[in-house]
Chain A
Amino acid sequence: MPQIELHNARKSFGSLVVTDDFSMHLDEGEALGVIGPNGAGKTTLFNLITGGLAPDSGRIVFDGADITALPAHERCRRGIGRSYQIPHPFIGMTVFENLLVGAAFGTGKPESQCYGPCAEILEKTGLIGKANTLAGSLSLLERKRLELARALASDPKVLLLDEIAGGLTEEECLALVDTIRDIRAGGVSIVWIEHIVHALLSVVDRLIVINFGVKIDDGDPHTVMNSTQVQEIYMGISAE
């Protein structure tokens, strides 16, 4: 059963069309990869799904219900979690409090019931030692982990990850892949935008390619990667 569906979504900023007649779906429990050159409209796709942007036309469906008109906070409460490509930590709050925001507001539970789950997520994501540190003093790597941890705290059914592996060392990247696999094993569907293709391919079941706001391929990751169109657009290799 599809968990997320986009029907003919379109978004433009002035005369620049960033998403054009875009349709896609995500099945429950699936891990979906999204690739495409810079400026292809990948992050815009996430913003349409999470409610950061409203589409000019088209419909967005989550768990069978039309959510096109729902505000972002309501979509989070229904189970759509996201991490930002450029981390947006709450710099004046501790790492633990950053997670508490997601847990208390994303799940609607009383704050005191969120302490346990948040501490658990901090352990799982390797941030427990930084629990009482102000998020503003974290390194870039830690900020990226915090993005993931905070989204997990809101107990999502679907997790949208935006270039979370960028800038990581090979070792850190492998650890991240393990973490994402764990999250998925816990029953959370994943949509992952990533330029680090080998990390992406080690997790996802299906791959979507976007260029100039249009979906140009969708299918088995290895077939898609080897298609001539992707080779041309993504690798800059001519089909000749």
Chain B
Amino acid sequence: MAETAQYRVATATRTSRAGLFVLLAGVVFLATTPLWGGRAEMRLVVEFCYFLALAQMWNLLAGYAGLVSVGQQAFVGLGGYALFVFSIWLGVHPLLALPLAAVAAALFAIPTALIVFRLRGAYFAIGTWVTAEVYRLSFAQVSDLGGGSGMSLPIGVIKAVAGSRSERELVVFAIGVAVAVASTGIVYWLLRSRYGLGLTAIRDSEAASESLGVNNFRTKLYVYVLAASITGFIGALIYLQKFRIAPDAAFSLIDWTAYVIFIVVIGGIGRIEGPIVGTIVFFILREFLADLGSWYLMILGLVAVVVMLRAPQGIWGLLAARFDLHFFPVQRRLYRRDGSPP
């Protein structure tokens, strides 16, 4: 909140304060899984958390910076492989390898950006996809990383995380929940900052934002590298949970990008709440439809098509418009000193 002579500016609304409680309750519910759930529930929550975090990052890219990437699996794979390289080849503690994987993904993201940023719109999307394929094929060539059939984490590295299996699962679980909360928090903080103004302006009109002093290229580059870095961290976490990596799975378009796009689109693109709602819907659908085999993917596709046609703002977009809900208020609203609208 800031004051001027006759006006003040605020972002919070009544629903945002109520929303904070709902969100806190959700976080507490997830974070206390070890108290009320078993091993299977903890695994499910970790998976929920990393899909939520991936979705927050994709939403930041596509929903705000206008960078519709279908190649984020590149950074999941790079992060995953970075975990193996750092912990096996360089003997780094696996938990320290997670942030190092984030750094590695960021370093790869810079040259990748310089290539794909030359492309616009649909060409950009295809460019990111092709780049991810190049990474997949490159890692399949490295015989020291198991080539096309991949490799497993040695038992020594696994034991370095924690002595017992239940302790290891607890560590991975805690990091998973932290990543989901942190990535949501980072996007929120980013959008509330001055940087968020520029980013939202770029989303709405690149020509106008540039002519009002926003450095479009640099803003997009930062966002791309940030998203790649956090996606790389998530990738390392995923493979610390799975213990086994192979190029086809680590650079899977369906697992790490198609599902994530589905989540963001049905939840509501360009809104922080969207990925949260989308991930919940995705997991519910998956639990009910997992037995249907390939029908499952067809139903997901059908749901996505219906949402895009009937509610292009996503489920949260519909709810937000109907009930004036803003759980993450990022809008700067101007009020008179007495609190009345201007």
Residues of A within 8 A of B (CB): 50-52, 71-74, 76-77, 82, 84, 88-94, 96-97, 100-102, 104-108, 110-112, 115-116, 119, 122, 128-129, 131-132, 150-151, 153-154
Contacts and interface: CB of A to CB of B under 8 A. Distances in A.
Interface in B185-242: 194, 197-198, 200-201, 203-205, 207-217
B6 interface: yes
Interface stretch (B37-45, B94-102, B169-177, B329-337): B329-337
Interface of B: 2, 4-7, 9, 194, 197-198, 200-201, 203-205, 207-217, 270, 331-334, 341-342
A102 to B, nearest CB: 4
A153 B197 CA distance: 14
A90 B4 contact: no
B204 A92 contact: yes
Contact of B4 (A72, A91, A101, A119): A119
7 contacts: A51-B211, A88-B207, A94-B331, A105-B197, A116-B5, A119-B6, A131-B334
B205 A119 contact: no
Contacts of B210: 51-52, 71-73, 76
A96 B204 CA distance: 15
Contacts of A110: 194
Contacts of A91: 204
Given A105-B212, A115-B2, A132-B341, A90 B194 contact: no
A116 B4 contact: yes
B120 to A, nearest CB: 16
Interface centre among A94, A97, A128, A150 (most CB of B within 10 A): A97
A89 B207 contact: no
B204 A100 contact: no
Nearest to B332: A97
Contacts of B212: 73, 76, 101-102, 105-106, 150-151, 153-154
Given A71-B215, A77-B213, A101-B198, A94 B342 contact: no
Contacts of A73: 210-216
Main secondary structure of the interface of B (DSSP, over half): mixed
B198 A105 contact: yes
Given A96-B332, A132-B334, A154 B213 contact: yes
A84 B6 CA distance: 31
A105 B4 CA distance: 19
Nearest to A105: B213
Nearest to A102: B212
Nearest to B341: A132
A112 B201 CA distance: 18
A72 B342 contact: no
A101 B198 CA distance: 6
A105 B333 contact: no
A131 B207 contact: no
Contact of A100 (B205, B216, B332, B341): B332
Contacts of B214: 73, 101, 105
Nearest to A93: B200
A89 B208 CA distance: 8
A52 B207 contact: yes
A153 B211 CA distance: 12
Contacts of B203: 90, 92
Contacts of A115: 2, 4, 7, 9, 334
A72 B333 CA distance: 29
Q: Give 7 closest A-B pairs by Cβ, nearest first.
A: A105-B213, A116-B4, A106-B213, A90-B204, A88-B208, A112-B2, A76-B213
B269 to A, nearest CB: 11
B119 to A, nearest CB: 19
A147 to B, nearest CB: 9
Interface centre among B9, B198, B215 (most CB of A within 10 A): B9
A238 to B, nearest CB: 40
A79 to B, nearest CB: 10
A94 B13 CA distance: 15
Given A50-B211, A76-B212, A93-B204, A119 B7 contact: yes
Contact of B213 (A52, A102, A112): A102
A104 B199 CA distance: 13
Given A100-B332, A101-B213, 8 more contacts: A90-B204, A96-B334, A97-B200, A106-B212, A119-B4, A122-B342, A131-B334, A132-B342
B271 to A, nearest CB: 10
Contacts of A93: 197, 200-201, 204, 331
A118 to B, nearest CB: 8
A191 to B, nearest CB: 14
Contacts of A102: 212-213
Contacts of A150: 208, 212
A226 B287 CA distance: 79
